[in-house]
Chains A and B, each alone.
Chain A
Amino acid sequence: MSGWRCRAYRAWLVDAAAGHLTSHRQHRLDAHLAICAVCAADLETLRDVPGLLSTSAVPDPGEDVWRRQREAISRAIRHAPPPQPRWIAWQLWAEGWPVWRMPVAALVSIALALVALRVVPLRVRHVSRPPTPQAGTLDTEALGELSDVVAPHDEVLSLSPHEDDPLLAATALQGAPAPTSEPLLFEAYDLDDDALNGVDDLLGDVT
């Protein structure tokens, strides 16, 4: 047999002769070789002839010729302008870093940059910001009631660092630890249960 099927196997025969054929292809090639004497003979040829060729050698001009040629090249390059690096890739390659990794590294860098710009800030927005509602969310009526409740304790609240922030002030009234308050101020609070319940109700409305 020798026809279009054999032509399809020629590259595989070259790989098979060098022992580089994958096992799957080797099985398929073996099946073809079992029925094709021409390809089987070609495989033997591809195994034998290159070894025979490699025994041939061109005439050696002699060490004196090699030396003179090296000296001539040396003289020529000493008079030639020095080569200029045109691209940075050779430097990376010279360091043992294959060039194909450069675009991969660039893509990874871009991906990391995108993650840093998009994902991380979103998480920070959700996690690190305290859930402080804006003062504007308190309606006037609620603020008025809050003022009434807090009114008996004006003297104490005037010492509070949160007097400009109604919510933090209310938090302080509840006895919860305020972020920047001094412990002494909490000890100075002397609130009755009714007042605290009133604040609880108000905060429930607010939140």
Chain B
Amino acid sequence: MEAPYAAGRRHLHVDDAILIRNALAGRREDFEVLVERYQKRLYAFAYRFVHDPDRAADIVQTTFLQAYTHLGQFAGHSSFKTWLHQIALNEIRTVHRRSRGEQLVPLADVDEPATSAEDGTGNTWKHTLEGLIARLPLRQRTVVVLRVFSDLAFKEIARMEGMSENSAKVNYHHAITKLREWMRERDT
């Protein structure tokens, strides 16, 4: 018997649309290929909002289950990747609402002294960057994460966030210039 996801490896280059069509036709293993394709990306996306591995993993799992259950509602107005991010973002907002008052982002991380990449691996600097991103207001953080890390177009981001494309760009501008200021403050 073929192990789960072993079949998926043969479909790594199959278009999302074909896999969705097959999944709707009852081939669950084709949806599992989609899970494998977007699992890590969604985890990184969720982690940048909750900064907790278990919570991020839960969000990913819930996102895929929601996507599978509502796969028939996917009308193709956007890419499947954008649709998944939209579901994940809704789930993140739900988590934020439930955890209101609870500190989701460990701000103590942000206050660690920046040592740049002097440790040889650059891990501290990367950690610092993640901390700075976490300090951004939620909307600006969403735009930056979706643009820089998820590689979504501003048009798609604007649709997800319910704003104009111009507003998405202005939010992005604010976020990037703010990050630069924080980096300079840490360097001095």
Contact = CB atoms under 8 A, between A and B. Distances in A.
Interface of A: 10-11, 13-15, 42, 45-46, 49-50, 52-59, 61, 65-67, 69-74, 76-78, 80-87, 89-96, 98-99
A78 B31 CA distance: 11
Contact of A90 (B36, B75, B147): B75
Contacts of A96: 17
A50 B76 contact: no
A49 B39 contact: no
Interface of B: 4-5, 17-18, 20-21, 23-24, 26, 28, 31-32, 35-36, 39-40, 43-44, 47-48, 53, 56-57, 60-61, 64-65, 68-77, 122, 125-127, 129-130, 133, 144, 147-149, 154, 166, 169-170, 172-174, 176-177, 179-180, 183
Contacts of B172: 14
Contact of A93 (B23, B43, B76): B76
Nearest to A9: B173
A53 B44 contact: no
A14 B64 CA distance: 32
Contacts of B31: 77
Nearest to A42: B177
Nearest to B57: A69
Nearest to A45: B180
A56 B173 contact: no
A82 B27 CA distance: 9
